[in-house]
A and B are shown apart, each in its own frame.
Chain A
Amino acid sequence: MKRHAAAAGWLSALCMGLGQWYNRQYAKGLLFVLIHAAGIFLIASKLFPYLQGLVTLGTKGQHLEKVGKIYKNVPGDHSVFMMIHGVLAALVVLLYVVIYMMNIRDAVAIGRKREQGRDLKDLQSTMFPWMLLALPIIGVVFFTIMPIVFTSLIAFTNYASPNHIPPKNLVDWVGFATFHKLFTLNVWSNTFFGVLTWTIIWAIMATVTCYFGGILVALLINQQGIKFKGFWRMLFIIPYAIPQFVSLLIMKNMLNEKFGPINQYFRAFGLEGLPWLNDPFWAKVSVIVVNMWIGIPVTMVLVMGILTNISKDLYEAADVDGASSWMKFRNITMPYVLFATAPILITQFAGNINNFNVIFLLTGGNPATMNYNNAGETDLLVTWLYKLTLDFNQYNIAAAVSILIFLFIATMAILLYRRTRSFKEEDMIQ
């Protein structure tokens, strides 16, 4: 009677649920058998053609066919729908395989418990976190992972206007041709590298200005002798509290070259005013400055929170040693703030690379330029991509760009996050 684990495992490998029955968990076994049956039925009857469609992406385009005496336009295969269905089918098959493996593991684990004669109740504990995670995982799989897979696949097709837009035409797999085009074909590579350069400059500038601006404002408020600290903080939080699309659309009007109030003030002083959003250089300055207006409050709030956490003993000890306020600032405050906010710096940098709102709502990527293909002077990779998708239907190039952005950000995030305290020593906080 010591062979429960192996027996249950093999039975479950043979057919889902048998091992559970062997372990006398009848309800669970029945559930697994039903999943097994449903899975087999689905894969055989429904999913197989979908998976096939994923490979071929359709064989018949829209075409004319002779019906009786007249030619009629017959709808062909819709490659993009076939791709989506294929991806969904693949996910269901994958899910089925995962459940199959879980079923075997479960049977073995319970069998082992029986061999050791242990109580089966405490197994409930290991299942509980998965119960909590079930709903979130389903949501993420279908509305985050599935779209990512789909978008990645698009990059390897020729899905782009004007010649490959379903349902009129078919879409085909083209391998790495899209990436090749992006890097080597001048029309695309000039735009790509130009926009990439500006994206990086923007991300660095935006992050640095908001970060140090925020620290300075926080320190300013937190000085000894400044009264109404709460009031100042509240005042400076206002730009952050106003919805971004509202404040950005307002800013867009304020910076209007002809009628905007900013240039009106310039004129009141007898100056010409500046072409804020219409000149390539000033448009770039404008987005960075407006972004400071929105971004500084976040860092300020953070740093103020951190400042209150610094132990007063440190400053008292420094006072005893006769340190000046500058020395205290340099040797206590700054290192502490920098250390505590370092992870935020990374997230802000990543966020700025994808800062869609500021660019899209403020300049819309304009001013337009002849140097770029379907992009303006202030376009970031993400806004360019949005335009490529929505306005120009260049889906494959857009997908390729999004893969590159994702790879870049993900690599950075993993490398840096792995080193942060919270990931390595999360149990130490307790």
Chain B
Amino acid sequence: MKPRLIFSYLLLILIGCAALYPALWTVLSSFRVGNSLFSDHFIPTKWTLEHYRDLFRDRADRSIPYATWYWNTLKVATASMILGTLIQLLTAYAFSRFRFKGRKSLMTVTLILGMFPGFLSIMALFVIFNTLNLLDTQWALIIVYSAGAALGMFVAKGFFDTIPRSLEEAARIDGASHMKIFTSIILPLSRPIITYISLTTFAGAWVDFIFARMILRSPEQWTLAVGLWNIIDAYNSTEFTLFAAGCVLVAIPITALFMYTQRFLVDGLTAGASKG
């Protein structure tokens, strides 16, 4: 083997270790006996499933309703995914396929608004939800996550731009309506981008912490992000292994989902990069 290749392999292995280490360390910690952050061995000397059991058990000395948090997160993320994806696809389709008055300026506005850091509007949203009596409900969170979805439409628009127009022109000659063209030609061809958008909106809602912390006030309404942050905050790392177990259960489904669909992810990201 050429020295250059050996060197490259060494580098790859090194980067691989760096990439994996924190995750591996957390997984191993979650099986370790005891509750401290400190340990002498990377691989635990005694293994236990106690911490996982503990997450789903009520204990008098602390309140960690992990199962409820999990269910809440799942509900919010799924609902936001469906609503957000729909809104984003509609917007992208309209901008990609139709030429109407004010289109360019509307697109510029979309672009600029997308740059506004969402959580700066938190004060206003708080008051709105307060007046609508939606504070401390998951509906408020779902609305926040999906209402602004249209602003992220540029990746999808880039994708729609690449679908040849001749397809729909043929369909139009055959007498298909706009809606028919959208549902039976465009959507089936857009599976990669739909996957990409659903995945990112789902993950976005799954991991958001800023809005969730503001809107959800009572512990039984919390999502996982708020709950786990609170374990660190309230128990000051004294329940580290429990926290680690909680992290593993949050991270595994979403990580697996990402890995499984990474092909679409790559397509989506590249579409966004070269076509705006």
List the interface of chain A (C-beta within 8 A of B).
80-81, 84, 125-126, 128-130, 132-133, 135-137, 139-140, 142-148, 150-151, 154, 217, 220-221, 223, 225-226, 232-247, 249-254, 256, 259-261, 264, 293, 297-298, 301-302, 304-306, 309, 340-341, 343-344, 350, 354, 356-357, 360-361, 382, 385-386, 389, 395, 402, 405-406, 409-410, 413-414, 417, 420-423, 426, 429-430
B87 an interface residue at 8 Å Cβ cutoff? yes
- Contact between A354 and B25, CB atoms less than 8 A apart: no
Distance to closest chain B CB from A262 (angstroms) = 10
Interface residues of B in 1-50 (CB under 8 A from A): 2, 5, 8-9, 11-12, 15-16, 18-20, 22-23, 25-26, 36-39, 42
B148 an interface residue at 8 Å Cβ cutoff? yes
> Can you list 25 contacts pairing A with B, beta carbon distance less than 8 Å?
A126-B100, A132-B91, A133-B91, A135-B90, A136-B150, A140-B110, A143-B148, A147-B128, A148-B113, A150-B127, A226-B9, A233-B262, A235-B19, A236-B16, A241-B254, A242-B255, A243-B203, A250-B23, A301-B269, A340-B274, A385-B120, A395-B123, A413-B115, A417-B111, A426-B161
Interface residues of B in 66-95 (CB under 8 A from A): 87, 90-91, 93-95
Which residues of the other chain, B, contact A84 by a CB distance below 8 angstroms? 124, 127-128, 131
Distance to closest chain B CB from A329 (angstroms) = 13
- Contact between A417 and B276, CB atoms less than 8 A apart: yes
B207 an interface residue at 8 Å Cβ cutoff? yes
B56 an interface residue at 8 Å Cβ cutoff? no
Interface residues of B in 225-276 (CB under 8 A from A): 225, 228-229, 232, 237, 240, 243-244, 247, 250-251, 254-255, 258-259, 262, 265-267, 269-270, 272-276
B165 an interface residue at 8 Å Cβ cutoff? yes
Distance to closest chain A CB from B162 (angstroms) = 6
9 tightest A-B contacts by CB? Answer: A422-B276, A147-B121, A305-B270, A147-B124, A136-B150, A241-B258, A139-B147, A143-B147, A129-B98
Which residues of the other chain, B, contact A420 by a CB distance below 8 angstroms? 276
- Contact between B123 and A389, CB atoms less than 8 A apart: yes
A343-B273, A406-B115, A426-B276 given; name 14 further pairs at CB < 8 Å. A84-B127, A132-B94, A133-B94, A140-B151, A151-B120, A223-B5, A235-B16, A251-B22, A256-B37, A305-B273, A340-B273, A343-B276, A409-B115, A430-B164
CA distance A360 to B214 in the complex (A): 15
B112 an interface residue at 8 Å Cβ cutoff? yes
List the interface of chain B (C-beta within 8 A of A).
2, 5, 8-9, 11-12, 15-16, 18-20, 22-23, 25-26, 36-39, 42, 87, 90-91, 93-95, 97-98, 100, 103, 106, 108, 110-113, 115-125, 127-128, 131, 143-144, 146-151, 158, 161-162, 164-165, 178, 203, 206-207, 209-210, 225, 228-229, 232, 237, 240, 243-244, 247, 250-251, 254-255, 258-259, 262, 265-267, 269-270, 272-276
